[in-house]
Amino acid sequence: MTINWCGDVFSGRGDVSTTSLLVLSVIVGLQTRLTDSRSSPAHPWHEHTPTHDEFTGRPRRELSSDYDAIDPTDWPHMRQKRNIIPHFNPFLRNFTENFVYFDSKINMSSRNTDFLYDNLHADPEENIVRHPIFWEEQENAETIRSNQAKLMKQYMDSTADPCVDFYQYACGNWGKINPIPKDKAAFDTFEMLRESLDSVLRDLLEAKISREDSDSYVKAKNLYASCINHDILQKRGEQPLLDLLDQFGGWPILKPDWNSKNFDWVILMGQLRLFNNDIFLSEWVGPDIKNSSEYIIQIDQQGLGLPTRDYYLQPSNRVYLDAYRNFLLTIVTLLGAPLANATTGAEEIIRFETDLARITPAPENRRNVSELYKRMSVGQLRYRVPKIDWFRYLSIILDRPVSPQENVVNFAVKYCEDLVELLEKTPPRIVSNYLLWRFVRHRVNNLDDRFQDAKQKFYFTLFGREETPPRWKTCVAQVNNNMGMAMGAMFVKKYFDENSKNDTLVMTKEIKQSFQELLAATDWIDPETKRLAAEKADVMMLRIGYPDFILNWTRGIKI
C-alpha cells in the first residue's frame, strides 16, 4: 500500500498497525515534508520510499545505518533505503513510537507548551488553533474534532484553485505555520508526532528513580543520565574510542606501522557486529517470511556510508562525496592520524566504498522478495560462498557453535559472491581501514564537541541541517532505540488508555470477521484460492498497541 499525502509518500504493508499510524497522520493533518533552500529537490535521497517495520508498519530505521547510529534525531530525512527484509531489532528499538495515540484521557505534556501554538500571518494568538499532541483531559470528542477542523483549515490555502494546484490548496499554508526547525532538514506530520513523543519520553527519563521503578526502568534512566552527561564527554575526549580500536588490532590509518599478518576481515566484521554495527553484511534472527512460526538466522547486504549508491556513482552528486571525504579526514585527524597518512587513507577508503557501491544492487532491483529469498543450511551456504567462513562469523555473533545443518535465509547470495571477489583484490590495510571507519562513524555521537562540529558541517552539506540537535534529543532517541521495550513499558504505564486498546482490538476482530464472511459469500474466487485466503485470515495475528508482557512485572523485562 502506498499513500501519497500532500507530496509525502509512505509505503506500507497495509496491516492494522500501518493503518493506525496513517490515521494518526490524518488527524494531525494532510501535510507534506517541507523542503526549502536547505534541501535540494534534486537530491537522490528523496527518490525512494521508506521500508517499513514488520511489527508496527511504520517507516523503519535501519539497524546499522550510519545516520541512525550517529544521530537518531535525524530519522525523517535519513531513512536508509536498502529494501531488505525488516529485522526484529528495529521493532525493539522503535517500539515506543507505536504508542503515539490521540485520546481524551491523556494529559498534555508540560514541555509541549511552546510547540502547541501556531503562527499564521502574524494573527493574534487567540485566533491560532492550539495543536495538542496529547489532548488535555477536559477536552471532549466534539472539541477535539472542532479543533482539528480549524487546524486543517489553517494548513489549507483557500485562495488556490484545487483544480489547478490541489497540493497548494490542501497544504499551501503548512510551511508558513510549521517552518523547518534549524536542527532538522525536513519537517512533516510524522516528525511533529516524534517531537511531542520525545518530549514525553524526556519527562519519563528525567524523573527521579523511585523504589517502585522496575529494573528495566532504572537501567533506561541510568543510560539516559550517562548519555546526557556532557562534561564526561568533554573530559574523556577520544581516548575511550582509541582504546577500543586497539582492542580490534588497531586502526591502520592511525598506525603507519600496522601489520596485516593476523588480520581476518570476517573476524573483525563479526566483532564489530557485537557493537551493533552491520558492515558489509547484515545479520539478524527473526521470523521466516515463509513460515512466521519459525525464527531463523537471516543475512542480507548492508548499506553504505552515504544514503544510496547514487551518491558514489552519479557525477552530479560529487559535492556530497567531497563533503563525506572531508568529514572522514577531519575525524581521522582529530583522532591523531598523521596528515599524510590520513589523506592517503581517506582517499583509499572512498575509492573502496565506491567499488562497493558498484556491486551493491540498486533498490529497484530488490523489490521481489521471493526472488531474493534463498533458504539453505549453513553448510550449503558455505558451499555456495566458500570464501566466507560462515561458521566462525555466525559463532562470533551468536556466541554459540553453529552446526552445518542449521538453516539460514540469505537475501543477497550474489552480493556475497561479488563482495568476496572485491575483498580478494583489495589490500588488507584498506579493508581494515574501511571496517573501522564505519565503526568510528557509529561512535561519533559519543565523542566531544570537536567531533560534533565536524559532523554538523558534513550534515549541513548532505541534508541541509543548520544546527546540531540538543543533546537531550539524541539521548532520548538512543535510549528508545536500544531499550525500546523498557521505554514502551514506561510510556504505557503512565499514558496509554487500556480502554482504547480494547476498543481497537474489538474493532479489528470485527473487521476480520466481516472479511471472513464476505470471503465465504464470494462466488467469483475459485475454491482453492478461497481456502488459502480463509486459512491466511484464520492465522493472522492482531498486534494492537503493545504486547501485554511488557507490563508483566512478574515476568519482567530483561535488558
21 has pLDDT over 90: no
What's the distance, CA 245 to chain centroid?
26
Q: Rounded to an integer, what distance in angstroms lies between the CA atom of residue 457 and that of residue 468?
A: 9
Q: What is the pLDDT of residue 554?
A: 56
Local confidence band at 403 (pLDDT 50, 70, 90 cut-offs): very high
Cell (9 digits) for 514: 466481516
Q: Which is the CATH superfamily of the domain at 242-447?
A: Neutral endopeptidase , domain2 (1.10.1380.10)
Q: What is the pLDDT of residue 553?
A: 62
pLDDT digits (tens, 9 = 90+) for 513-552: 999 999 999 989 999 999 999 998 888 887 787 777 777 7
555, amino acid identity: R
489, amino acid identity: A
Residue 219: HSE in the Cβ half-sphere, 13 Å Cα cutoff: 15
pLDDT digits (tens, 9 = 90+) for 340-373: 899 999 999 999 999 999 999 998 899 889 899 9
Place of cell 574501511: 434
Predicted TM-score (pTM) of this structure:
0.72
> Which helix (H) or strand (E) is 297 found in, with range?
strand 291-301
Mean pLDDT of 503-515: 91
Domain ranges of the chain: 2-206, 242-447
Gap between the terminal Cα atoms of the chain: 35
For the chain, what is the mean pLDDT?
Answer: 77
186 has pLDDT over 50: yes
Local confidence band at 207 (pLDDT 50, 70, 90 cut-offs): very high
Local confidence band at 437 (pLDDT 50, 70, 90 cut-offs): very high
Q: Rounded to an integer, what distance in angstroms lies between the CA atom of residue 3 and that of residue 12?
A: 8
pLDDT digits (tens, 9 = 90+) for 381-396: 999 999 999 999 999 9
The angle formed by the CA atoms of residues 200, 206 and 211, to the nearest 5 degrees, is: 110
Q: What is the pLDDT of residue 184?
A: 87
Helices (H) and strands (E) in the chain, counts: 24, 6
Highest mean predicted confidence (pLDDT) among 47-51, 120-124, 411-415: 411-415
Local confidence band at 501 (pLDDT 50, 70, 90 cut-offs): confident
Q: What is the pLDDT of residue 412?
A: 95
Q: Rounded to an integer, what distance in angstroms lies between the CA atom of residue 411 and that of residue 81?
A: 15
The percent of residues above 70 in pLDDT, for the chain, comes to: 74
Lowest mean pLDDT among 306-320, 333-347, 498-512: 498-512
Local confidence band at 105 (pLDDT 50, 70, 90 cut-offs): very low
Q: Rounded to an integer, what distance in angstroms lies between the CA atom of residue 59 and that of residue 537?
A: 24
pLDDT digits (tens, 9 = 90+) for 258-301: 999 889 999 999 999 999 899 999 999 988 988 878 999 999 99
Q: Rounded to an integer, what distance in angstroms lies between the CA atom of residue 490 and that of residue 493?
A: 5
Backbone angles phi, psi at 296, to 5 degrees: -145, 150
The percent of residues above 90 in pLDDT, for the chain, comes to: 51
Mean pLDDT of 137-150: 76
| Sheet hosting strand 374-377, strand order edge to edge | 281-288, 291-301, 407-410, 374-377
Q: What is the pLDDT of residue 173?
A: 92
Q: What is the pLDDT of residue 555?
A: 52
Secondary structure letter of residue 298 according to DSSP: E
Cell (9 digits) for 148: 482539528
Choice between 133 and 235, residue whose per-residue pLDDT is larger: 235
Q: Rounded to an integer, what distance in angstroms lies between the CA atom of residue 127 and that of residue 83?
A: 45
